[in-house]
Structure 1
Amino acid sequence: MSHRVLFVCAANVCRSPFMATVLDDETSRGSDGARWEIRSRGISVVRSHPMCRVAMSLVDPGSPAAASAAGHQSTQIAHADLEDHDLIITASREERARLARMRPSTRQRTFTLKEAVALGRVVPEQGELRRSAGEADSAPSLAGYADLLDQRRGRVVLPQQTGLRLPWSSPNDPRDVPDVHHDSARRHTRVLKESRDLVRELYGQMSRHLSAGA
């Protein structure tokens, strides 16, 4: 069985290809023998570009995913991409909303990175455990994990914007991985490192779910 994950951001030069590279690296080092198909796309790609310099500087040259990261070229998302993946992870709510307008049927398996990780941290409830027990005859799947996260929406408190935002302050929402491609190198690096930690946590959550029936 293949586990198919799609990462989406705006231009597909920084956040989404970096997230995909991190997950590709994690799955390559994994010992479960599962086959993973990991891709990244952008919702507003004007022309093809490689991964940004700051993101590439955070990729270990000796990692299993280094070669694919070096050869990355930004790609505009297509409708077929939305049908071909079990789990879709966006950088922000803006991309999530754009994908929902493109293909409403994908809403149930599309999450921002921070949303997916927050939902995955929840201790399973009895109802979830009973449903898992009732499906013991079939192997856990990534599509099933996306469904589990979707069922938790509205029942889990996610990070919220608090207080008043001043006109000159950053519009970034705590539920988003902000687009800092044109910000300072220091902030750019910090946001990408935070994303790396979140993707690694997401992989751990997915792995625990997928190994539950082993």
Structure 2
Amino acid sequence: MTFRVLMVCTANHCRSPMGEQLLQQASADRFGGAGWSVDSAGTRIPGPWPIHPHAATVLTRRLGHVQPHTSQALSRALVGAADLVLTASRRQRGVVVSAVPAAMGRAFTIRQFARLVDAVPTPASGARPADPADQGRWLLTEAKLARSSLQPVPGDQEDLPDPMGGSLADFELCADRLQDAIDRILRPLGPATPPA
């Protein structure tokens, strides 16, 4: 079993491929390489672009490498296959939910989902599933339950600013925000537990 995460931005050129590779590495480190699969797509891609050069530089600095990437268009099939859809902005979440209304309960901006997970207490040992994929599904359920307890925030606090057209420093700042959200999302989860 795999917990499938889909990262979405506009062109699948900057934010979502950075988020994809940062989350894939962080989840692999957490779970020993098992259980989570991360993909990315764009709501309006101008063509099959590679990752933006600044994004590639940032990832190389942080991860020691950058995975090959070619932008792909968001599709109903990609959304339908995902257990969790994390978008860069509220606008992109709207596109996802308009295309696949059934995704409403599993589509969030990445910063919104991190804020929801902040309200999820770290469970006692044995209170969460051992399997990484099941941990992902548990986290999604707990985050949705936390939604009613949170105060609203200004909408722009739930969006990830687009560094496209900006400097390398703008891409570094975007990656900082992505990494912060990813760290917060993975916080309540434990390492994979080998079967007894």
2:194 matched to 1:203? no
1:126-166 per-residue CA deviation (whole Å, 9 max, x = no partner) reads xx99xx97x98x994423322322232232124325xxxxx
CA contact (8 A) 1:108 1:146 kept: no
Provide the residue aligned with 1:103 in structure 2. 100
Q: Bigger relative contact order, structure 1 or 2, given CA contacts below 8 A and separation 6+?
A: 2
Alpha-carbon RMSD: 3.1
Indicate the SS of the match to 2:40.
strand
1:80-119 matches, within 5 Å, as 80-119=77-116
1:56-67 matches, within 5 Å, as 56-60=56-60, 63=63, 66-67=65-66
CA contact (8 A) 1:23 1:203 kept: no
CA contact (8 A) 1:145 1:209 kept: no
1:130-209 matches, within 5 Å, as 140-160=134-154, 173-205=156-188, 207-208=189-190
TM-score computed with the length of structure 2 as normaliser: 0.83
Indicate the SS of the match to 1:24.
helix
Looking at structure 1, the residues matched to 174 and 19 of structure 2 have their Cα atoms a distance apart, in angstroms, of 11
Cα distance change of structure 1 residues 192 and 144 upon mapping to structure 2, 3 Å threshold: same
Alignment-mate amino acid for residue 147 of structure 1: T
Between structures 1 and 2, the one with greater helix share = 2
Alignment-mate amino acid for residue 191 of structure 1: C
Provide the residue aligned with 2:37 in structure 1. 37
Indicate the SS of the match to 1:37.
strand
Alignment-mate amino acid for residue 156 of structure 1: L
Looking at structure 1, the residues matched to 118 and 56 of structure 2 have their Cα atoms a distance apart, in angstroms, of 29
Provide the residue aligned with 1:9 in structure 2. 9
Indicate the SS of the match to 1:6.
strand
1:57-87 per-residue CA deviation (whole Å, 9 max, x = no partner) reads 11136948x352xx10000011011111111
Alignment-mate amino acid for residue 183 of structure 2: R
CA contact (8 A) 2:9 2:87 kept: yes
**Greater alpha carbon shift after TM alignment, 55-64 vs 2-11:** 55-64
Give % identity. Answer: 25
* Count of aligned positions: 193
Cα distance change of structure 1 residues 177 and 67 upon mapping to structure 2, 3 Å threshold: closer
Report the structure number with the largest CA radius of gyration: 1
CA contact (8 A) 1:90 1:111 kept: yes
Cα drift, residue 174 of structure 1: 1.5
Looking at structure 1, the residues matched to 74 and 136 of structure 2 have their Cα atoms a distance apart, in angstroms, of 21
Indicate the SS of the match to 2:187.
helix
Looking at structure 2, the residues matched to 33 and 192 of structure 1 have their Cα atoms a distance apart, in angstroms, of 22
